[in-house]
Structure 1
Amino acid sequence: MKAVRLLLINSFLMNVSFFAFIPFLSAHITGNLSLSAGIAGVVLMLRQLVQQGTSFLSGILADRFDYRIMISVGMILRGVGFVLFAFCRTPLELIIAAITTAIGGSLFEPTSKAAFSIFAPPAKRGEIFALDKIVRHSGIIFAGIMGGILLQFDFFYASFVCGGIFIISGIITFLYLPNERVQVPKQSLADSWDKVKSDRLFIFFTISMTGFWFMFMQLYLTIPLYAVNVFNNTAFISSLFIVYGVIVVFLQYPLQKWSKRFQRLTVIKIGMTIMGMGILLLGSSTNVLLFWTGFCMFAIGIMLVEPTSYEYTAEIAPPQFSASYFGVALMAMAVGGGISQGAGGWMYEHMPNINWGISAALGISSAFCIHLLQGWTRKAKERSHMPEQS
């Protein structure tokens, strides 16, 4: 469990650094550099698309090489990217720094999840992924405090502090993360890709998760905008993330324990349905109580779906292809999240009355796809246990 503890510490520090830095970066681009909000949006969107869009390749590479090296190099590269932002003055330089940070994240994100699945005992994987979510959101809460302190200083120092956290964490990971249990049979890149793409049920699962990530990304885009516009109070933005973080910290673990009584795919489809109902309620209400009720439903749905989906991926992935599976699974975030940031913002601006209905419909459609997958999986298991006929 030493490796799990180190990975959890990494999760905390990565979220502290990332969420303390990214809001600061947007303010720096539009304020200190006097560039447009559009450029800031392009820089942030490019970072996500490059990171999540290349995660499948990074996962395949992680299965081919050493997990410890991939995580360490990724964290160090992310830190270097943060430091580079301190010296950027033009959009091109900002894009280069953004791509550097994205490649770093692409290297460590799927590999870290795969390492959790390797180091954690199979019976404890769900609890470990739930604990990881708690730790990450504790880091987000702490990032708010640290970000407020860094705002008192020049951006140059903030980039070095946040980048330094990643670099130091990467060095510590390289020195202390055990690698003997990660040594699974190594596969060629072609074998890894052929294995994942031949698993049609898993590919369908990944496609089904795009609706979840479409809804999830509204948490960082249209939900805060709607709260400010409806209630005419910018304090709602910080309140949203404080409430969300507190809900995750205090309810994630008991909720994960409770969900153990159900099949994983059942938990995922229930969570997606609750999210859909929650986003529809909060988006159609002008009443504070109904808004917060919908938001809490939305948060509970996320807590049911996200760690359970990671646990499901870890369970069905062969050990030698674990990072490859997680890398491909993150493609759902790239597609669903990318469309959510683009189409979601456009819909909110031009079709505000149906934006929430479309988001809810996508989420519930994904839940229905998971329901179909559950039936196909059951039939596949029944066929695999049928005696051969002569």
Structure 2
Amino acid sequence: MLLPIRHSATQPWPPVLLGSQFVFNVGFYAVVPFLAVFLRDDMMLSGGLIGLILGLRTFSQQGMFIVGGALSDRYGARIVILCGCILRVAGYLLLAFGESLFPIIMGACLTGIGGALFSPSIEALLAKAGTQSELAGKRSRAEWFALFAVCGELGAVLGPVAGALLTGLGFRQVALAGAGIFVVALVVLFFCLPPTNASKQTLNILPWWTTFRNPRFVAFIIAYSSWLLSYNQLYFALPVEIQRAGGSEKDLGPLFMLASLLIIILQLPLARFARRVGAVSILPVGFVLISASFLSVALFAATPAPENGLRLLPSACFVTLLTLGQMLLVPSVKDLIPWFANESTLGAHYGALASAGGCAVLAGNFFLGNQLDDALIPSTKAIYPWLQLAFFPLCSAIAMVVICRPMRNR
């Protein structure tokens, strides 16, 4: 059965890449959304330490994206993807068997670095395969990337459900299951990915420091970095709100399903709407929606939650508004990056964008972590962390109006 697959592997085969994205997201979302609960309930860590660990995980992935892309260009996508799978398996095993803080931190970082290796490489292979498909008069590259996004979201729907079903067995079993998924992916991709031709190219990560010579771009990525800090609260602050409302980690699954279903249904219509309005005009709207997502929780944080299903209403509002803001923001920002860069420095600029977000998550989670401990119990103190989280995207909305003013005529 592997023979035809082996034969077709002389060129990237798009269905394999789509399936890889689906499986990667199942393996990721089955584990990472439940990491904060494990660190708080099983490891008995403080909010500050939990924030630091989750921030390091995000930073190790976002900050390494530019490195993963450069390694893929130099050594070929296949070997880098396989190494990424191995690192994520190692990270999950450390999370499963680690008994002290150091292996847990190492495991979290390895899962991030693994993602930074295989994600840019998979996208690069899909771009090449989509180009070949388009030249052959078949499905266009843009259509393949749209399918790629849908497959990723389907994985993001099923992953939390699978993780929630396994949480009764304990987080360590969930992490082992995630490691198993990536072992299977490693074996399949070993046979399915196209062989790498030895490259004579010298490893050269584009001079990233040139991206910081433009003050407007620096202001842009600093303002945008509050987006990744806000999005990371799905893993950090959302479990805190669920606990305040009397829920459990099993409630995370349906809420992540809600986010993914919203993206599957609304991403394309909202992207078309954003194009009509214009990326520059839509950015403040996206950040205001994100700010409103935190305010929707702050409104209820001081009062005890009802006993019925309405106890998860603030969490559902938070996920819905945050996801709507994400769908408006992310495509629009990616569309504006070429305004700052020429073709030879696009990679460095996109890498700087991701790295700035990783820094914001690392610093923000660490400083807000102990304050989120106050949000575990309904009280006036429980409001303050959510108000602070709402403050950052609100500042970004105002900043984007000023920063993007020269782009209105692009």
TM-score by length of 1: 0.75
Task: Please point out which of 187, 191, 209 is paired with 2:224.
Answer: 209
2:21, 2:152 within 8 Å by CA — same for their partners in 1?
yes
Q: Which residue number in structure 1 is paired with residue 19 of structure 2?
A: 9
**Which residue number corresponds to residue 342 of structure 1?**
366
Which residue number corresponds to residue 254 of structure 1?
A: 269
Alpha-carbon offset, residue 300 of structure 1: 0.9
Kept in 2: contact 1:26–1:40 (CA 8 A): yes
| Aligned residue-pair number | 376
CA contact (8 A) 1:16 1:139 kept: yes
Deviations 1:172-206 (A, max 9, x none): 446545589x9999676364325544455544332
Q: Provide Cα deviations, 1:9-36, integer angstroms capped at 9, x if missing partner.
A: 22221121122234666677788xx743
Give the structure-2-normalised TM-score: 0.72
Query: How much does 1:301 deviate?
Result: 1.0
Aligned partner of 1:144: which letter? P
The alpha carbon displacement at 1:216 in A equals 1.8
In the alignment, which residue of structure 1 is the partner of 2:45?
37
2:105 is the alignment partner of 1:101: no
Establish whether residue 376 from structure 1 lines up as the match of residue 406 from structure 2: yes
* 1:299 positional shift: 2.1
- Identify if the C-alpha distance between structure 1 residues 131 and 200 changes in structure 2 by more than 3 Å, giving closer, same or farther: farther
Does the 8 Å CA contact 1:114/1:322 hold for their aligned counterparts? Answer: no
* Deviation string, structure 1 residues 336-378 (Cα, Å, up to 9, x no partner): 2223322333344455333333323311221233333322335
For 2:163, give the aligned amino acid: G
1:305 aligns with 2:329: yes
Identity between Structure 1 and Structure 2 (%): 24
The structure 1 residue matched to 2:353, chosen from 329, 337, 341, is 329
Q: 1:176 to 1:64 in 2, by over 3 A?
A: same
Q: Deviations over 1:134-184 (max 9, x none)?
A: 43332132123332454576877655542243244345446545589x999
Report the AA paired with residue 207 of structure 1: I
Do the aligned partners of 2:32 and 2:235 also contact (CA within 8 Å) in 1?
no
Q: Does 1:20 align with 2:44?
A: no
How far apart are the structure 1 equivalents of 2:118 and 2:400?
Answer: 28
The residue identity in structure 2 corresponding to 1:163 is: A
Given candidates 269, 277, 283, the residue that maps to 2:298 is 283
Q: How far apart, in 2, do the equivalents of 1:247 and 1:290 lie?
A: 16
Query: Is the CA contact 2:21–2:148 (under 8 Å) kept in the aligned structure 1?
Result: yes
Residue 55 of structure 1 aligns with an amino acid whose one-letter code is F
* Aligned-partner SS, 1:329: helix
Change over 3 Å in CA distance of 1:307–1:69 after alignment to 2: farther
- For the Cα contact (< 8 Å) 2:29–2:160, is it kept in 1? yes
Question: What residue identity is the alignment partner of 1:281?
Answer: S
Match of 2:397 in 1: 367
Q: How many angstroms does 1:60 deviate by?
A: 4.1
- Letter aligned with residue 93 of structure 1: P
Alpha carbons 1:218, 1:344 under 8 Å: kept: no
Q: Which residue of 2 aligns with 1:165?
A: 181
- The one-letter code sitting in structure 2 at the alignment partner of 1:36 is M
Q: Distance in 1 between matches of 2:279 and 2:185?
A: 33
Supply the AA of the counterpart residue of 2:27. Answer: S
CA distance in 2, matches of 1:138, 1:58: 25
In 2 relative to 1, CA 306–371 (structure 1 residues): closer, same or farther, beyond 3 Å? same
Pick from 52, 60, 67 the counterpart of residue 50 of structure 1: 60
> What 5-or-longer segments of structure 2 have no aligned partner?
1-10, 135-139, 375-380
Q: CA deviation at 1:334?
A: 1.0
Unaligned runs of 5+ in 1: 382-390
Q: 1:76 aligns with which of 86, 108, 119?
A: 86
Question: Does the aligned pair in 2 maintain the 1:17–1:162 contact within 8 Å?
Answer: yes
Deviation, structure 1 residue 303: 1.7
Cα distance between partner residues in 1 of 2:17 and 2:338: 16
